[in-house]
Each structure stands twice: as structure tokens, then as C-alpha cells.
Structure 1
Amino acid sequence: MEIRQFFTTIARRWKFVVAFFVVGIFLAAWLSAGATPVYSASSRVFISTQASNSAEAYQAGTFSALRVTSYAGLANDDSVLTKVISRLGLSETPDELSKNVSATVNTSTVVIGITAKAGTPDQARLIAETVADEMTNLVARLERPQDPAAQPPVLARVVGKASFSSSPISPNIPLNVVVGGILGLLIGLAGAVTRELLDTSVNSAEEAAESASSTVLVTVPKDSTLQKHPLISDPQGSREIAEAFRVLRTNLQFVNVDAEMRCIVVSSALANEGKTMTAANLSVSLAQNGVSVLLVDCDFRNPQMPALLGLEQSVGLSTVLLGRATLSEAVQTHTSGISFLATGRVPPNPAEVLQTQAMRDLLTSASQAYDVVLIDAPPLLPVADAAILASQADCVVMVAAHGRTRREQLRLASERVELAGGHVAGVILNLVPKRRFGAYGYGYGYGYGYGELPTTPSIANAGKGRDKKARGRRRENSNI
């Protein structure tokens, strides 16, 4: 992973990193607060020799310096610690006590520093003083001459009283919190990079285009207002989403300038990726630009368009296919200006119904009566309905949810369209987080701005040579 990719990953998954950082701080603080405090106390033992003149004093000093290192090891001797335990009435064993007692020799001196740790300051002081006292006794026994009248060559004396602090040396809460935060941050960074490397979802327009072997027509931001105002015809709806669909409307005209696109299927790899709302808002956007649009709900598996538009579902596509109503009788008009054909009663065999000659004839008739026919199709991977419709339409527009749709799923869905004889016109990257939406802007696909072009090469041609009265609101050179 390159440096730029690393920082991009951190910027994308900063919440994950921050969460581990905060958890590390709180965990360190919690463990430190619950830990048993440890106090420390220190005492000193001075090692000296007997000397009558300066020459002997120098030799005695050298002798003491050589012996003092050996004496420092006596602080953890069982004979010393056993007597300390006996004198203080401790419940510890010599091995356990040795872990809390240490002796060090100050450089170039004959002073042994003894450090003791305990649960209270007084206990630490008593242990340090008792260990120092027992060390002097042990040195006295070891250095006792055979001649009772002779002076021992080495003497050990306790220097002053033991020093101690009323503040515990452990736990060091500020230090532990800092260390915990650093460890949490490092784990968060490693986890973010690992998740990025293992993540197979579509997280950029480049990944969507590569997976579908097509172009990204537009990126649609994720907006909380869609729950209450899903259609761009709503004055209280999101302006960013409305602008995105205007750009999509413009970009669609350049997908294939040599062929007409009068029948367009809107589908996705799996459910819950926003295809139904995309189809509805694309229809509204086209109608706002003077294009006559028929929106057909072919999702017999899970028809949601009637509820979205607030229209009736009982009469619709299945009604027309059964010959119980004509297309004009089954079509409903929405306040936004689009014409809508619902599913009607759901048949038990949707795929077989969509593959009939009656369905092909209906799409042909609809394409002659309207400038654009938009089909809200079921997802491509779970069922065959969308692939069947793709073979009957001019093109398919794929909807992929940012961070949800897998790259492999998008690739397989695109391949299913091609195998059915259809054509993927492009991908709409939906539900893009707003923090990343600004990086995409409106530059993807074939459009380059906010303006509308005066002609629509691929769709406007569909209206040439037909009677204007029969087309109603359509214009001969309408824009998309």
C-alpha cells in the first residue's frame, strides 16, 4: 500500500481508528484505577574497612569496592529474607518477598541501595529497614575473624532511616493512559489497513467502473432527507440529489450517440441498493425537462414504486398483459408529470410473464407512445427477471450502493446482462457519504457541468417523424 493510499484509507475509516484510540485510553484508565497501588521505600548500607594510615586506607577502599558488589546480592538471600519475614510477621514466602526487594550498587561508591515494595508506605519502609539491618548482621557474621580479639576487616552500617514516598509508584495512571492511547491508535491503524485490504465492496467510482466494465454516469450522495422527501420533485428534498439526477439526465444522452435509447432498464446486483428510488427520480428529472416518460414497475418480486409515488398498484402491467385493459387505461399520472404503469396483480411466474410476446409488444407500443420508457426491474443476481428485460430494452443502467455492493457482485451482474444480449450503459454509484461526495463532484461520466445541452442525440431522435399531437407534451428535440 502506497503512502497516499494509506492516508486515504485512514481518512475513510477514521471513525474505526478513533474508536480504538478511545478504547485504548479508557481501558488503560480502567485497569490502572482497579490495580492495587504499590509503594516504594529505600535504605542504604555503607561498606567500610579498618585502616590505620593512608596506604592502608587506599587498599581498604579498593578492597571494599571489590566486595560491595558481592554483598549486594545478599539482599535477596533466603537467610536474610527469612529473618525479615519472621521479624515483621509477613505472610509471604522468601521467594515471593524476593520479587519485591532489590539491591543496587552506586557507581564508584561503597554504598548499597536497598529498595522494597509493598502495598502501603509504612510496610515498604519497614521491609527496607529490616532488610538493611539483616544485611549488616549477615556481613558481620561473614567477616568475623577467627581471633576473637581481632577487628573484622569489613564493616556494614545502615545509613540513616529509610526514605519513602506517600505516592504510589504503580500504577502510573497518566503514563498508562498515554501508552494505552498509543497502543489503541496503532491497533486502530493496523485494523483500518487490514479492513481496507480485505474489503471487497465498491468504495470509489473507479472500482465501480472497473467492476462493471462500464462508466460511472453519476454519484448520488447519501442524504437523511430521503426518508421524508424521496422524490426530487419535492421542494423540501435534497438539492444535491436533485442536481445529481440532472447531471445523470445530461450524461445519459452521450452514452451511445449512434443508437436510440428509448427503453431503459434500471436494476442492481442485489436488493436494497436504491434502484427503485433511482428509477423514480430519473423519471422525474426527465419529465422536468419536457420529456414524456413512462415509468414501468416490473419488480413483481417486491413492488415498491406505488408506495413511493403514492399511486395504485392493483391495475397495471399484468392487467394489460392479460388483455383486461389497454396501456392507456392502466397508466396513471403522477403530480411530477411522469406516467406510471404499476405491476398490477403479482403473477406466480414473473419470469415467464416477462418473457412473453405480449410483454415485447407492450414495450414496443410504449416506446412509440413515449419518448422514454424506464423500467424498474428486480435485482439481477437473485432472479432472472432483469436479465430478460435487459434483452428487450435498449440498455441497462446499474445501481451500486457505495460500501455495500461487492465488486464481484457488480461484475457478475454486468456479465449477466451481457450474456442475455443486453447492454450496460453505465453505473450509478449510490449512497456515497457526503465526506467523500465532494471528492467525486459531478465530473464522472460524460457530463462536464451543471448546464443542459440544447439537443439530445440518443433520445431526441426517437421523436423525429412522429405526429406532435400524438406525442402530447413531447418535443421534437427535447433534452434529457
Structure 2
Amino acid sequence: MSEYVAALRKRWAVIVALALVGALAAFFYARTTPPTYTATAKVYVSLNNGETTNDLLQGSAFVENLIDSYAALADMPVVLDAVAEDVGIDSPGRSLDGAVTANAVLNTSIIEISAVNGSPEQAAAIANSVANNLSTTVERLAPSSAAGDESVSVDVVSEATTPAFPSAPRTRFLVASGFVAGLALGFVTALLWSALDTRVRGQREIEPLVSDGVPVLGSLPRTRKRSSSMAVVDNPLSATAEAYRKIQTNLSYIDVAVPVRSIVVTSSVPREGKSTTARNLALTLAEGARRVLLLDADLRRPSVSESFGLESSAGLTTVLVGRAELADVVRNVGIANLDILPSGPLPPNPHQLIESTVMRDLLASVRTRYDIVVIDSPPLLPVSDAAVLATMADGVIAVVGCKRVRRQQLRQALRSLDAVSARILGIVLTFAPRSGADGEFYGYRAETRRRFPFSRAREESVFGTELAALPESGRSRERDDASRAS
């Protein structure tokens, strides 16, 4: 039930829009439809003879049995031809078929005759003429008594009056009906849209897909502006940077008994943010005392070199083919405890290089030199490189882009990891919807930092100054405090 409510709340704009469209369509239909008027006359059917009570009862039953037949005569040519002549209609009485209705009132001897016309006067004239001609026709067709008199008489008991207001179109009713119909269509559309849209939108869609024990390490909020690919160093006080630190903290408590020394970061499909997650995760890990290596193993569409401003003429591929040593291609970008191993030139056979024995030996070698190795790998579904790397590493972090991947794609990607018995350390949600707490900071906000861009040296000098470095207002307050103390 909660899923249906969430789907309706998410697409409330569609529901409201369709309801308004339905109401407006009904309103325009009512405004463009010519008005019609309805006039009603009533006749009473009775038995003329009957002297005893038994005769009256038999006559009443006779009338009840025939009153529906008398009502049916009202819209037949035998009556309508005479009506057309009375009201001055040039066409035959069949032209009035559908404009005249007659109904016997339940449990009574009364027939209601209604006439519909675009003119209120004409509607009243037609209804009265039908009542009079029906009376004549019934008296002519009914059997005569023994004395030769009419046994049944039809008397007009209520003449039709000229209607003051049109009976159709009923604008308010039509608008209300159109609104309700549009609202119902909006509900159906929202529910069908939710059922057909299989994109992952949040943690709720992920939980049924992952195995028990696989945690969601964290979620990275979606920002309105284009965010930096290295938010941890470019904007360290932002909500995005804090989200990466939370992921790093959760990662350190996954399994203390089995320490994680090498991590493969991958995703199901491209453009889910796996490379950005790998870079920032390496930066947060390097903020501690551990030595971290960021290895770009995406030999098809590498991005680490460009993000750190490094040349990609030498790197992982040159080591794998034996043209360089590892120490010659590992780069330092001026960030403490962090080294970068670029991908190197793009090879014609990336999969063969990834699954080679040289690659396995290389990973074993760097694990002895660094505390943690973060491996940026290709997506799982287009190629199988990440699945192969998962067999060489201690674990895998699966990056899931909200609204960027579908549930069946994520399910297939996780199955490919299960097929090689890979250890899934956790899930990282990217492009997640922002909540009210995402923009909160404990201390200085990122906006303040951008407005007053102090460098680290400048900040240390400011916080280390004495009274002489304070603003004038601060010095005056210090003088006042000193005078009061003396």
C-alpha cells in the first residue's frame, strides 16, 4: 500500500494536470453544445364504466396491464404525425422520434410525456400536443362498452409549461464528471507509470535485489550544479565530501576479522559515477595514515589521468606488457599518502591483459607496498573486466546511479559477481535525491568557504594571530575589557 501512495505522491502533478484537463474539456464541450429545453405534460388513464366494486377492481387491473402500451403510443407515427401538423412542423412525425418520451409512473395510472427542443416554447407545444393526441388515439383504439361508449379515457391533468432554464447541457455536472474522470485517469497513469518505470530511484528498490548481509555504504546526493569530480579536495566541507567520508567509515567496519586491502569499484552500466566514487574514496582513505594507491584498470574509457592532470603515455598497460617497471609509472600528485597508477595507452586487447597472470602478480605486488588499493574498473554489463578483477581483489563496491540504471540491469550485474564468487562489500548510491539534512553542516558551510577562500597557510596565520591582527571592532572590545579589568 505504501508503494502505491509513494507512486501517487511522486506524480501528483500528472494527476492534477489530467484532472484539470478533464474539467476543462467538459467545460468547453458544455459551452459549445447548443442548449435544449425539456417540457413535461401528464395524463391520467381511467376506466369509464364500473358500477360495482368488483368491476372497479377489474377495471383498475385492466388499466395497469395496458398503461405501458398506451405510453408506447406516444412516440409512434399514429400520434406524432398529428403532433407535427399541430405545431407546424413540415417534416413528418418521424422527425420527432427521440425528442418525445413517455413513461408510466410506477404504481399509478399517470403517464409523463416529455418533449425536448431547442426552443422552450416549441418544447411545451410539442408536449401538450402529444398529450392531447395520445388521449384521442387511446380513446379510439380502446374497446367500446356494451352501450357503445369509450371504455377508457385519457385526460390531461398537467399541461406542459414553457421551461425557464435549459435542461442540457448541465455545465456543472459535466465539469464535475470531467474532473473526476481526469482524476481517475491520473491515478491509473501514475500507477502504470510507476509499474513500467523500472529505474532504481533509491534504497527501497535496491533492498530486494541484493543478498542478505550486503549493506548500503552510503548515498551521494544529487546536486543542482555540476559537481566536481574530486569533491573531497575541491570542496571538503560540502555535503558530497562528507558523504564520501561516511562511506569510508562504514567500509572500515564491514569485517574487522578480514581486512580489506584491495577494492574494485564498478557499476552496472556507464554514467553511474563509479570513477568519481573511486577517486573520492581513495582521497578519503588517504586522509588517514594509510598509504593508498588508486589504480585505473578501466582500459577502455579511463578517466583517472585526466581528473588528476596526469599524462597517460605510460601506466598500467606499459607495466603489463613489460615495457616499464611499476615504480617508474606510479605518480604522486602532491596529496599525502596517495599515489596514482594511470591506465596507460589503450590496448587492443584489454580483456586479455586484465585476466593475465601478470595482472594478478601486479595486484599482489602493490598490496605489499600499500595499505589499500582502490581499483577503478569498467562497468559489469558491457564487458567482463570488472568480474575478472573481482576475483583478484578482496572485495567489490557496486555503484548504483539513481535513475541511471534499471532494476533488471542491477540484478544482472550482481548475478555476474555472484557467478565468480566475488565478495560484495556494499552498495553506494549516487545521484540520490537530496533530503532536508543533506545540506546541513557542523561548523563552517561550504558556501562560506567559497566566499572567503583562505588557503591553509592563511587560515593558520589568522587563527594564530594576537590582538594586533584582530579587526578594529575586536581591538576596541579588547581595550574595553582591559580597562574594566584595571
TM-score by length of structure 2 reads 0.73
2:315 equivalent in structure 1: 316
Matching residue within 161, 167, 174 for 1:176: 174
Partner Cα distance (1:289, 1:118) in 2: 89
Partner Cα distance (2:167, 2:314) in 1: 81
* Contact 1:128-1:162 at 8 Å conserved across structures: no
Q: Does residue 265 of structure 1 match 2:246?
A: no
**Cα offset, 1:378, TM superposition:** 0.4
Matching residue within 25, 30, 36 for 2:25: 30
Partner Cα distance (1:227, 1:366) in 2: 34
The change in CA–CA distance for 1:153 and 1:30 in structure 2 (over 3 A counts) is closer
* Contact 1:42-1:116 at 8 Å conserved across structures: yes
Pairing of 1:408-419 with structure 2 (within 5 A): 408-419=408-419
Structure 1 residues 137-146 or 112-121, which shifts more?
137-146
**Cα offset, 1:38, TM superposition:** 4.8
2:471 equivalent in structure 1: none
Structure 1: gaps of 5 or more residues: 1-5, 442-449, 451-480
CA displacement, residues 178-219 of structure 1 (integer Å, 9 cap, x when unaligned):
334444444554555556666665555465355332412323
Partner of 1:10, secondary structure, is helix
Q: Equivalent pairs: percent with the same residue?
A: 30
Partner of 1:218, secondary structure, is strand
Partner Cα distance (1:91, 1:348) in 2: 89
Partner Cα distance (1:416, 1:52) in 2: 96
Structure 1 residues 178-187 or 62-71, which shifts more?
62-71
2:378 equivalent in structure 1: 378
1:344 equivalent in structure 2: 344
TM-score by length of structure 1 reads 0.73
The change in CA–CA distance for 1:210 and 1:153 in structure 2 (over 3 A counts) is closer
Structure 1 residues 370-379 or 241-250, which shifts more?
241-250
Aligned AA (2:210): A
Pairing of 1:220-231 with structure 2 (within 5 A): 220-225=219-224, 227-231=226-230
**Cα offset, 1:92, TM superposition:** 8.5
* Contact 1:33-1:173 at 8 Å conserved across structures: no
1:208 equivalent in structure 2: 206
Partner Cα distance (2:219, 2:414) in 1: 20
* Contact 1:219-1:432 at 8 Å conserved across structures: no
Aligned AA (2:431): L
Partner Cα distance (2:366, 2:297) in 1: 14
Q: Does residue 359 of structure 1 match 2:359?
A: yes
The change in CA–CA distance for 1:358 and 1:90 in structure 2 (over 3 A counts) is farther
Partner of 1:47, secondary structure, is strand
**Cα offset, 1:53, TM superposition:** 13
Partner Cα distance (2:145, 2:49) in 1: 21
Partner Cα distance (1:344, 1:191) in 2: 50
Q: Does residue 8 of structure 1 match 2:3?
A: yes
Q: Does residue 395 of structure 1 match 2:395?
A: yes
* Contact 2:48-2:151 at 8 Å conserved across structures: no
Structure 1 residues 345-354 or 266-275, which shifts more?
266-275
1:42 equivalent in structure 2: 39
**Cα offset, 1:44, TM superposition:** 1.5
CA displacement, residues 274-323 of structure 1 (integer Å, 9 cap, x when unaligned):
21121122122223344432222221222234444555444432244342
Q: CA RMSD in A?
A: 4.2
Aligned AA (1:410): L
* Contact 1:218-1:244 at 8 Å conserved across structures: no
Structure 1 residues 416-425 or 82-91, which shifts more?
82-91
**Cα offset, 1:417, TM superposition:** 3.0
**Cα offset, 1:376, TM superposition:** 0.9
Aligned AA (1:374): V
* Contact 2:121-2:162 at 8 Å conserved across structures: no
The change in CA–CA distance for 1:34 and 1:312 in structure 2 (over 3 A counts) is farther
Q: Does residue 219 of structure 1 match 2:218?
A: yes
> How many residues were matched structurally?
431
Aligned AA (2:126): I
Instruction: Kindly report structure 1 stretches of 4+ aligned residues shifted beyond 6 Å.
Output: 48-56, 90-93, 144-152, 334-337
Partner of 1:233, secondary structure, is helix
Aligned AA (2:433): P
Partner of 2:259, secondary structure, is coil
Partner of 2:379, secondary structure, is coil
2:103 equivalent in structure 1: 104
The change in CA–CA distance for 1:10 and 1:192 in structure 2 (over 3 A counts) is farther
2:467 equivalent in structure 1: none
Partner Cα distance (1:176, 1:238) in 2: 57
**Cα offset, 1:371, TM superposition:** 2.6
2:281 equivalent in structure 1: 282
Pairing of 1:161-200 with structure 2 (within 5 A): 161-170=160-169, 172-190=170-188
The change in CA–CA distance for 1:155 and 1:8 in structure 2 (over 3 A counts) is closer
Partner of 1:280, secondary structure, is helix
1:113 equivalent in structure 2: 112
